[in-house]
Amino acid sequence: MLFDRLQALALLQLGDSAYPAGGFAFSWGLEGLAADGMLANRDELDRIIADQLMRRWAGMDRILLRQAFQARDCQAIAGIDRLAEAGTSSAEMREGSRRAGRALLGVWVKLDGPLSVAYRGLLSSDARLGHLPVVQAIVSRDAEFSLDAAELVSGWTLVTGLVSAAMRLGIVGHIEAQRSQTAARGLLAEVLAEPPAPDALPASFTPFIDVAVSRGPLRHVRMFTT
């Protein structure tokens, strides 16, 4: 198969931690875990990244992304979006997912992505809409990605977001961050090599992370939304 340089460059652009979609505001539980004494070094960070990839992203976000990527129209996508809302037990994680998704969608509305523009019209009428994995599918369709490419950039965006948050929290330095990304790169490749069953339903099990996020509003000082 020929190397698609244009798609590779687009993946680098969308997967960049500096992409203007507001991802810097979310630690996805790392801040809470660190505050509770459950995250203090790179080994613990790597275990948490693995949990996020295997116990949430692979079984929840990836499934929602695939369904939204294959949905026939905006109404069908909205149904999947509501499933994301119903399937996320933590109120803080629901809000974080919607905020991150709506920020990403806003970028693509400004870039005149046709599906993004059409879907943006539904958001004002339903506060449940705009979850991140669903929006990732929408913008991937506007970017003319394949499904494989959409999954790749979604999973890698999670990894870089977690590592970036850990650096800002002072848990790892630049070199340790690169080691964590290298380990996560191999794990993500393994996860992507096993496609989910066609009838798979979204499900996740990350109780420690969910509890850490839920305790966020009780903390006096916070750096991140989640």
| CATH numbers and ranges of domains, the chain | 24-217 (1.10.4190.10)
Q: What is the pLDDT of residue 186?
A: 95
- 105-120 per-residue burial string, b: 16 or more CB within 10 A, e: under 16: bbbbbeeebebbeebb
Please report which confidence band the pLDDT of residue 225 belongs to, taking 50, 70 and 90 as the band edges: low
Res 223 pLDDT > 50: yes
Q: How far is CA 19 from CA 29, 94, 104, 138, 200, in A?
A: 21, 22, 9, 16, 31
Res 116 pLDDT > 70: yes
Q: What is the pLDDT of residue 226?
A: 60
Render pLDDT for 163-210 as a digit per residue (tens, 0 to 9): 999 999 999 999 999 999 999 999 999 999 999 998 999 998 888 887
Cβ–Cβ under 8 Å, residues 7 and 145: yes
Please tell me the distance from the alpha carbon of residue 137 to that of residue 147, in angstroms, as a whole number.
Answer: 8
Render pLDDT for 69-95 as a digit per residue (tens, 0 to 9): 999 999 999 999 999 999 988 888 898
